[in-house]
Every structure is written in structure tokens, then in C-alpha cells.
Amino acid sequence: MRFGGTGRLVTTATRHDRHRPVKERADPYAEVAARITAALEAGTVPWRHPWRARGHRNAISNRPYRGINLLLLGLLALQQGYTDPRWLTYRQAASLGGHVRRGERGTGIVLWKRIERRDDEDGEVIDTFPVMRFYTVFNAAQCEGVELPDAEASVEFDPIERAETVIAGYAGGPRVFHDADCAYYVPSKDEVHLPPRAAFRDAHGYYATCFHEAIHSTGHTSRLNREGYQTAAVFGSPSYGREELVAEFGAAFLCHEAGIDASRLEQSAAYIASWLAVLRSDRRLAVVAAGLAQRAVDRILGRAFDADAVANPIEGEHANDE
């Protein structure tokens, strides 16, 4: 094989409002999928573009956004031309003595909240489960009067050198061979095969491809043991599509980390059409794949991670913004 508790909302209607249409709660999974597919339909691959701003983070806590939030905010920064990587909620802007400029529109980011399920008789907590919600944030450039320090001047670094550091620092990674006509990972042998470096158009394309295959390798049973590695995934199947999207997202996150320009890779009409079909078939796929990709990135970079924090590093700072 190769890899290239339910609940109801009950309301009481009054004589005046029982005939009014009930506003349905937004589906965060569908909203995320819609934003990504809209970009694809417009010809932009959200995970294969130059990162206009690096280090997207909350303006108050400086905690980085991760997983699907990094992808969504990076896409918006590209579309709107934001170069400031700091984001904050409406209330956070007010707490800093400023406000969001009138007419500015925020963007939804994903937040996972733990909900407790209690026993009907004694009220004791018997279980907890995560619920995904949206919170609206604004870029610092959309605010006025906010007392924030000047954004740090970007530190100059060599993306190629940093990319090489990422690859070299992958502890216990697979063996890598430059002996193939195309790039692929073989789980049964735990090997990455790549074309010779000279076959790539430039170094950015080479390292973006390396990152893609490295993300695949994190799913090996000796590492993260990602679902789909125990049995062969048929090309075009849901499990194959999910694993490929994990590798696409994970490579994008590593490119962001190293400063590599992922736009050097293929973005043909056929490539875009293939991902539109996959994402339209499963509204949850983008969020799930981004969470798995973030965990894979943490494994390569040697970072400790909390399974609940992969998609949600920011619960505390937005807990009161409901």
C-alpha cells in the first residue's frame, strides 16, 4: 500500500411568536467545509498558498492558533491582505480600550467545549463529551484604539535551513530514499521515496513534498497509529481521502513553521476538482483531518500535545464570549 449523546432544543412558543420561523443553530462543520470549498471553487487551494502572516495567535494571550483555525485564519489573511497575525474577539478589543471598526466583519474560529452529562437522579457527572462551536474574532488591523504593542518585526531566517532542521529533527522518523519517479510513503517498510532533489523545480517544492510524506509516516503503528494503516486503504475510498487530506494539511502547517512556499506545488484544475469532491462528501472531514494533521506536526517537531487542545488551544480566553 502507498499513500500519495444526542439532545433536543425545546422551546415554549407564546401566542405571538409560535408562528415565527425558528432560526436553526449553525452547523460549524458545514460552515468550515463551505469556506474551504468556496476558496477551492474560486481557484485558491487554502493549504497551498504563501503565508502572508506567520504565527497567527490571540492578541491578548499570544497563544498560537492551531489545526483548522490556523488554516482558516491564514486563508482570510491572504484574501484580505492582513499582515498582522494577531486576532481578538469583540469583547477583548473593548477590554483593551478600543473597538472593532464599524462595518468590519469578523470570522468564525473553532472552539471545543467540554459538556458534562449528569445523572438524572443524583446529579453526578457521569460523562463528558466535546461540542464544537464557533467564536468570532477580528484581525488587529480591523480594530481602533486597541492598546497593543507594535507587532514584532519579522525575524529574518533562511526557510531552506529551517526546513532542513525540521526534517533532521524528526526523531525516529522513516528511512528516506531519493530513488523514485514520484514521491510516496510505504507503511509496510516505513520508507519515504522521493525523486532526486535535482528533479524538483526548486527547494521549496522539494521540502513541501518532503513534509507531505513525513506527515504520512506519522500514522505508522510505531508512532501515532492513525486509523487506516492497519488495512490497505483503497484509492478513492473515504479512509484514503482522509489520510491524503491529513498529509496536505500537515504539510501546510510545517510549511508555515519553516517559511516554505507551498504554492510551488500543483494547483491544477483536476487537483482542485478532486478535493472539492472529497470535501463535499463529508462535511466533518476538514475539521477532523486538520486535528489529526496538527497532532502529526507535533510529533515531527517533538512537541508535547494534549488531544483536546489539538483543535482548541484557546478555550480559556474565549470562555466568556458566548
Gap between the Cα atoms of 228 and 242, Å rounded: 9
Residues in the chain: 322
Domain ranges in the chain are 28-318
Q: Cell for 229?
A: 494503516
Q: Could you tell me the pLDDT band of residue 242, with boundaries at 50, 70 and 90?
A: confident
* Cβ atoms 174, 191 nearer than 8 A: yes
Helices (H), the chain: 28-41, 67-80, 90-95, 159-168, 203-217, 238-258, 269-281, 285-301, 315-318
Instruction: Kindly state the percentage of the chain with pLDDT values over 70.
Output: 82
* Cβ atoms 116, 98 nearer than 8 A: no
**Average model confidence (pLDDT) for the chain?**
84
pLDDT tens per residue, range 174-200: 999 999 999 999 999 999 999 999 999
CA distances from residue 160 to 157, 165, 188, 208, 250 in whole angstroms, order as listed: 9, 9, 30, 11, 18
* Cβ atoms 85, 55 nearer than 8 A: yes
Query: 178: buried, middle or exposed (CB in 10 Å: 19+, 13-18, 0-12)?
Result: middle
Quick one: DSSP state of residue 3? Answer: B
Predicted confidence at residue 13, as pLDDT, reads 40
Q: Ranked by mean pLDDT, which of 21-25, 59-63, 130-134 comes out on top?
A: 59-63
Q: Could you tell me the pLDDT band of residue 270, with boundaries at 50, 70 and 90?
A: confident
Predicted confidence at residue 5, as pLDDT, reads 42
pLDDT tens per residue, range 149-162: 876 655 678 999 99
Predicted confidence at residue 311, as pLDDT, reads 42
Predicted confidence at residue 117, as pLDDT, reads 80
pTM confidence score:
0.82
* Cβ atoms 267, 45 nearer than 8 A: yes
